Amino acid sequence: MRPFLLSIAFIFFCDISNAQVRTNINNDEVITARGKFKKNYTVKPPYIIPPQDVNALYKKELQEVGAGQAKPFKIAEAIPVDINVVKEASWVEEVGYSYGSFTIIAAGAKSISVNFDQFKLPEDTQMFVYSENGEMITGPVTENENNENNFWGSWVYKGEKLTVEIKSKSENRANVVLHISSVAYGYKDIYQPKVPSGNFGTSGSCNINALCPAGNGWENERNSVALILGGAGTALCTGAMVNNTGNLTIPYFLTANHCFDGAQANWQFFFHAWSPQCSPTQNATGIQFNGASLKARNEASDFMLLELNQLPPANSSIYAAGWSRSTGSSVNGVGIHHPSGDVMKISTYSTPLDRPVSSPFPSVLLPNLQHVWVVTWSQGVTEGGSSGSPLFDQDHRIVGQLANGPSGCGSPDQRDAYGRFDNSWTGGGTSSTRLSTWLNPNRSSTLTTETVLLCAPSASNATLIYPSGQRGVDPVTLCADCSYNFQVDYVAGATSYTWLLPPGFSFVSGSNTATPGIRTASANGTYTMYCSANNSCGSSWTHSLTINIGSGGGQQQMIAVFPNPTSSDLTIESTPSDLTIEDNSITTSSSLSNSTFRAKIVDQFNVELRSGISANGKIVFDVRNIQKGTYYLHIVRGQELITRQILIDK
């Protein structure tokens, strides 16, 4: 058979991404004055936040509650600062790298966190943030955390001392941007020392760790739950990732409306914050994501739907919880939450949920709360910090999120109220006040969804298609009733391939492999072939190849883009379809009636980085000063727009 190579770069819904940051709350590595990178830093005095009047902070909190302001669980006070970390840090230069260390002390604080309002890390830069002696440590934080808001917030660290340590290529040090705008001074001790009961934090002793026997069988659901840090690092709630009717990989996150503060773009979401044992001997290691956008919220059922700014990658094992909008009462289930900001807990119920006409707990804090499920707990309770946490039914589906209620370890027989998912579905009747607009992209009548693994699409090269000896030609001209070997370039994680052949084409061998043998149709004409790659998360985007059977071909003008990936020059050239193109080029499937066109390179935020008009059918962009990553090439002639993905690789 004549070899025919079909090379396609797929976008997987299960590829591994680095858009995540891990925090170890009980780090075994002791970090000395030489820091994480073990360098001899010049000793500089730390930045000092003076002691705060804790009694006044408690009084302020009580006044807010007394004024009827529904608030999440408050743990700290934001102290405005103006700190240029790069300028204030102590630096060491060594073998082409710069190492910096900067320390803040919030005198007398029970905990500390920081908020960067100017944040940018260049390529090949690492940042670690840790408490005294490195007992709690976050990192490495890399350029993957750069975002259009230029904001990044740390987690909450035990004690009064926090250190930021940086490693960057010396040539990139001037491009490191780290400005701290506020320090969260913790006045509540959410990290109490170990006690005989084996619990951590300040939650009541009747709360049950998520990995105790009561949590058996709820592993996927607990992987959807996160502790929220909002209010510039000062307040806590809980929430969960939720699925949608299309099983689309969109990071929707459900929590309580009364957690809203208008600054969700700067919130932190901490997943997997559980003790690894039922009676733990250590605290949690969790995964942090920063920032979200508001989609909808409504007071009547106290719900708020967000979309995280980052899509958790598959290797993070974060799930999107299934849900039910049925009006029928669940007979048993669980609540999964973070009471008082503690490690994840699970509460169980074994009596049917009540659905009162209105909330049985009238409150000046939530005066418009009406549509609730009321639960009586068999094991465990809820507390401040549990707000917004999911309530699951016997089928492991979310039916509501925590609004309010008087339960506690001192009153375990008291009941709690959860805003009903079925009411939140229709909400206030508008996109900004209901769930259905966002969670029902199929506009289906389905009442339930299942819990699924969230899988992130990775960056990908553009589609590469080439016949023997040629690269980048689409459409291609093949002979009738001839056999060819097709080949798909390696796709990481692929377990099989799905080929959709046009009429008259047939497989000779390897129908679900990357290298099938295919016989073309006997009739002349134009055909389209499709292929997608598959793995445990589903299928990649489907790509196509147009095939002309017969003499065809002509001198149709095509656009070739090469090399891709590139580290220096990127060439965009109008070329006849029968021209042989060298390796590392791509050709679009669009034709141009003449060689004049415009092109530009933009980043993921549509910021223009390069632009030009063709001369003699050609544009060459110098990309040496563009950072390594995935970008988009827009090619325009008249009303025709061709968009291709390009990879800049240093």
Residue 312's pLDDT is 81
User: Is residue 589 one of the residues assigned to a domain?
Assistant: yes
Residue 352's pLDDT is 95
For 344-361, what is the mean pLDDT?
86
Q: 410 to each of 72, 175, 380, 597, how far by Cα in Å?
A: 21, 54, 11, 74
Under DSSP, the state recorded for 330 is P
Active-site choice (15, 302, 393, 474): 302
Residue 151's pLDDT is 92
540 has catalytic annotation: no
323 and 250 in one domain? yes
Residue 641's pLDDT is 61
User: Is residue 191 one of the residues assigned to a domain?
Assistant: no
Token pair recorded at residue 111? 């905990």
Beta strands in 242-369 (DSSP E): 252-256, 268-271, 285-290, 292-298, 303-308, 319-320, 333-337, 345-349
User: Which residues have CB under 8 Å from 604's CB, separation 6+?
Assistant: 630, 631, 632
End-of-domain residue from the set 453, 480, 496? 453
CA dihedral defined by 66, 69, 73, 77, rounded to 10 degrees? -80
520 pLDDT higher than 90: no
Residue 110's pLDDT is 93
77 and 12 in one domain? no
425 and 350 in one domain? yes
Q: Which residues pair with 526 in a beta bridge?
A: 548
What are all long-range contacts of 29-34, with beta carbons under 8 Å and residues at least 24 apart?
29/134, 29/137, 30/133, 30/134, 31/130, 31/133, 31/134, 31/137, 31/163, 32/133
Q: Tell me which of 129 and 525 has the higher pLDDT.
A: 129
CA distance 410 to 37: 47
Amino acid at 169: K
Residue 124's pLDDT is 92
Token pair recorded at residue 452? 């699924």
589 pLDDT higher than 80: no
CATH number at residue 467: 2.60.40.10
Determine whether 442 is exposed, middle or buried from the number of CB atoms within 10 Å of its CB (0-12, 13-18, 19+): exposed
Residue 234's pLDDT is 83
CATH number at residue 152: 2.60.120.290
Condensed to tens digits (0 to 9), the pLDDT of residues 308-345 reads: 988 887 677 899 999 999 999 999 999 999 998 888 99
559 and 541 in one domain? no
User: Where do we find the tokens 């260390």?
Assistant: 101
387 has catalytic annotation: yes
533 and 633 in one domain? no
Q: Tell me which of 140 and 475 has the higher pLDDT.
A: 140
Condensed to tens digits (0 to 9), the pLDDT of residues 240-293 reads: 999 998 877 789 999 999 999 888 988 999 998 888 777 764 556 788 999 999
Condensed to tens digits (0 to 9), the pLDDT of residues 376-397 reads: 999 999 988 899 999 999 999 9
Residue 455's pLDDT is 67
Residue 66's pLDDT is 59
Place 19 in a pLDDT band, splitting at 50, 70 and 90.
low
* Contact of 25 with 136, CB cutoff 8 Å: yes
User: Is residue 194 one of the residues assigned to a domain?
Assistant: no
Instruction: Report the number of distinct structural domains present in the chain.
Output: 4
Place 38 in a pLDDT band, splitting at 50, 70 and 90.
very high
Is 0.85 topped by the overall pTM? no
Residue 470's pLDDT is 36
User: Which residues have CB under 8 Å from 243's CB, separation 6+?
Assistant: 320, 321, 322, 323, 439, 449, 450, 451, 452
Condensed to tens digits (0 to 9), the pLDDT of residues 151-173 reads: 999 989 999 999 999 999 999 99
Residue 15's pLDDT is 36
CA distance 135 to 274: 17
- How long is the chain? 650
Active-site choice (258, 272, 338, 543): 258
* Contact of 39 with 299, CB cutoff 8 Å: no
Place 540 in a pLDDT band, splitting at 50, 70 and 90.
low
**Average pLDDT in the chain:** 81
CA distance 43 to 34: 10
CA distance 63 to 61: 5
Condensed to tens digits (0 to 9), the pLDDT of residues 401-437 reads: 999 888 888 888 888 999 999 999 999 999 999 999 9
* Contact of 253 with 306, CB cutoff 8 Å: yes
Residue 537's pLDDT is 59
End-of-domain residue from the set 432, 453, 474? 453
CA distance 383 to 581: 66
CA distance 287 to 269: 8
* Contact of 267 with 232, CB cutoff 8 Å: no
Place 492 in a pLDDT band, splitting at 50, 70 and 90.
very low
Active-site choice (98, 347, 387, 574): 387
Q: Tell me which of 483 and 216 has the higher pLDDT.
A: 216
634 has catalytic annotation: no
Domain that holds residue 638: 555-650
User: Is residue 213 one of the residues assigned to a domain?
Assistant: no
